[in-house]
A and B are shown apart, each in its own frame.
Chain A
Amino acid sequence: MPTDINLWPLLGVAVIIAGFVLRFNPMLVVIVTAIVTAFAAHFPVEKILATIGTGFIKTRNLPLIILLPLAVIGLLERHGLRQHAQRWISGIRSATSGRLLMAYLGARQLTAAVGLTSLGGHPQMVRPLLAPMAEGAAEARFGALPDKVRYKLRALAAATDNVGLFFGEDIFVAFGAVVLMTTFLREAGIEVEPIHVAMWGIPTAVCAFCIHAWRLRRLDAWLAREMAGSAPTSPTTPVATAGKGA
């Protein structure tokens, strides 16, 4: 075992965990963690700021996927996209929130597995279409939803996009993660074929679909129970409700 390893940077890990657990403002937690970690690694002040600056410039691509679609999505929302998505889904008799999300999960996994990762996403798919449709399908069945139910449907719509993407994309041979894994193993003197790495992603992908789809199936039963209890006592939430039947 080498003994010259500096264990002090682990202080940064402690800071970030404590910060999130104690629910400080995440921006404050992150900046304090960055400074503490760099300080623990014996960086001088100027180098700390330069490391933060360089890191921030290197990661400029991260917010693009959120920022770029906002103008279009906002404009369409102003003209009733969400209301129309809700009404459109409520015209389909067999549509339930659970079944809709399950179908989306399957489609998201399959398209990600053939490399079409950009067919979904939170700003361009979940906010304007998937979440309103999940709410619309539930409203068509049970009437106006209390906020608790509405928020749970939205959170599950976002979760379904994540699960579908994560456990689909690794099956695609040309995906960055597969390249990263084979490159890392090659440097360690182990040769593996990218296609084998991609193939062994399939068992976990199947498990991911079964587990999450099973949870989505139970969602419909949960909705029925929840709405049976609360429907007569709290008749309406005045949030823009879509008309029933198209």
Chain B
Amino acid sequence: MTLTITHLYDLVGLILAITAVMTLMDRQHSRRYSSAFFWGLYSLVFLVGDQLPPVWVGTGVVVMALIAAFGGVGVGHHVVRSAAEYTASATRLGNRLFIPALAIPVVTMVGTLSAKVLVVGGTPLLDPKNATLVSLGIGCLVALALACKLTHETPVQGIRESRRLTDALGWALVLPQMLGMLGLVFSDAGVGKAVSHVTTSYVNMDVRFFAVLVYVVGMALFTIIMGNGFAAFPVMTGGVGVPILIGVYHGDPAVMASIGMLSGYCGTLLTPMAANYNIVPAALLDLPDKNAVIRAQVPTALCLLTCNVFLLYFLMFR
């Protein structure tokens, strides 16, 4: 049997369904019903999402967005330990605490690298298309087993802790997927074509340096809008890169592609649209300012973007 990403969807769906039930049973929860409904709907997306008609799923997404937008996703009641208890168990367990934590990346890495070799009777054990994510899933299960053994806790306590962190993240947990969906809507609606039309029709590219500047800054700006360098690359490269930098000025395409994409990544550092990298970590680290990670990245991103303009200009036309 091949372990595929579908198994992970089932696992995550199950965790979210239990989270929803725990929320429903939490009598001290201020937004008990709407929160449970939100996590319940989200668990359905993973459990049966691909079997439902897309219109139903779309309606569910709109409902989830409205619940979140009007403050319906609240934080439940969680039993926290005292500072003394934390210190006591930190002293008792010491460096052994690092073992399960580091097991996640190590197992993920080993699984990813050995996925090609793990074949039994012609059937791969790990889905080769999603080797990293499937390995991450296995890594988390291995780490959970290690953590339970080390701390003498049950997996149920693990789910309780998972719910505590899910509550802390709130709707920010769903935002990356919402923005991924928006990217696909943008591309279906032809936003990319419209942007590339506007860029190429109204910007003067007769000066070589100016054309490079438009490509580099355009990649960053378009990534800020789309939240993803992969979405910006075809638009800017098709609109400006190939026809002007290569077609008119005969630049080196390998340099253009590489530095162009990395200019897009500078945009990723600057945008709330890249929720997985910028908004979710702010929530994960309990930062009161949701844009704190972006603020910390602005100087690096802008300096690097300036470097890219000159790198592209000098390396592309060697």
Residues B315 and A200 in contact, CB atoms below 8 Å apart: yes
* Interchain nearest-CB distance for A159 vs B (Å): 4
Shortest A216–chain B CB gap in Å is 10
Q: Contact between A196 and B254 (Cβ–Cβ < 8 Å)?
A: yes
Q: A51-B188, A192-B254 are in contact. Are A166 and B269 (CB under 8 A)?
A: yes
Is A208 engaged at the interface, CB distance under 8 Å to the other chain? yes
Contact B253 A126 (CB under 8 A): no
Question: Considering the chains assembled together, what is the distance between the CA atoms of A109 and B56 in angstroms?
Answer: 43
Interface status of B35 (Cβ within 8 A of chain A): no
B 78-129 contacts with A by CB, 8 A: 81, 83, 86-91, 93-95, 97-98, 100-101, 104-105, 108-109, 112
In the complex with contacts A74-B164, A204-B307, A69-B261 CB distance below 8 A: no
* Chain A residues positioned under 8 Å from B173 (CB to CB): 63, 66-67
Contacts of B115-167 to chain A: CB distance below 8 A: 130, 132-133, 135-137, 140, 143-144, 147-148, 150-151, 153, 155, 157-162, 164-166
- For the complex, give the distance between the alpha carbons of A188 and B315 in Å: 22
Closest B residue to A147 by CB, please name it. Answer: B288
A98 within 8 A of B: no
Contact check, B285 vs A127: say whether CB atoms are below 8 A apart: yes
B144 touches A75 (CB 8 A): yes
Query: Nearest chain A CB to B20's CB is how many angstroms away?
Result: 14
Q: Which residues B57-80 have CB closer than 8 A to chain A?
A: 57-62, 64-66, 68-69
- Number of chain B residues close to chain A: CB under 8 A: 146
Q: Which of A74, A79, A211 counts the most chain B CB atoms within 10 A?
A: A79
Contact yes or no, A192 B257, CB < 8 A: yes
Q: Mark A34-66, 1 if CB is under 8 A from B, else 0.
A: 110110110100101111111111111111111
Mark contacts of B217-235 with chain A using CB atoms, 8 A cut-off: 1 yes-contact digit, 0 otherwise.
0000000010001100110
Residue of A6, A123, A170, A201 near B284 (CB, 8 A) is A123
How many Å lie between the Cα of A203 and that of B58 in the bound state? 44
B97 pairs with A13, CB closer than 8 A: no
CB nearest to A50 among chain B residues:
B54
Partner of B181, one of A5, A9, A59, A158: A59
- For the complex, give the distance between the alpha carbons of A196 and B104 in Å: 33
Among A138-146, A178-186, A223-231, which stretch is in contact with chain B?
Answer: A178-186
How far is B269's CA from A58's CA once the two chains are assembled, in angstroms?
A: 24
Which residues on the B side are within 8 Å of A49 (C-beta)?
Answer: 54-55, 58-59, 62
Give every chain A residue within 8 A of B11 (Cβ-Cβ): 68
- Check A76 against B100 for contact (C-beta < 8 Å): yes
Are A201 and B258 also in contact (CB < 8 A) when A27-B171, A27-B175, A177-B229 are?
yes
Report the separation of the CA atoms of residues A41 and B189 in the bound assembly, to the nearest whole angstrom: 5
Q: Hey, what's the 0/1 contact readout for A112-127 against B, CB within 8 Å counting as 1?
A: 0001111111111111
Complex partner residue of B201 from A1, A70, A75, CB under 8 angstroms: A1
Partner of B272, one of A20, A68, A242: A20
Interface of A is mostly: helix
Closest to A8 in B: B194
Q: Which of B24-32, B205-213, B290-298 contacts A (4 or more CB under 8 A)?
A: B290-298
Residues of B at under 8 Å CB distance from A? Answer: 5, 8-9, 11-12, 15-16, 45-46, 49-50, 52-62, 64-66, 68-69, 81, 83, 86-91, 93-95, 97-98, 100-101, 104-105, 108-109, 112, 130, 132-133, 135-137, 140, 143-144, 147-148, 150-151, 153, 155, 157-162, 164-166, 169, 171, 173-186, 188-191, 193-195, 197-198, 201, 225, 229-230, 233-234, 237-238, 242, 246, 253-255, 257-259, 261-262, 265, 268-269, 272-273, 275-282, 284-289, 292-293, 295-297, 299-300, 303-304, 307-308, 311, 315
- 19 pairs, CB–CB < 8 Å, chain A vs chain B: A7-B194, A10-B194, A28-B66, A28-B69, A30-B178, A61-B133, A63-B12, A66-B276, A70-B162, A76-B151, A122-B280, A158-B281, A159-B300, A167-B304, A181-B257, A188-B242, A192-B253, A196-B254, A203-B259
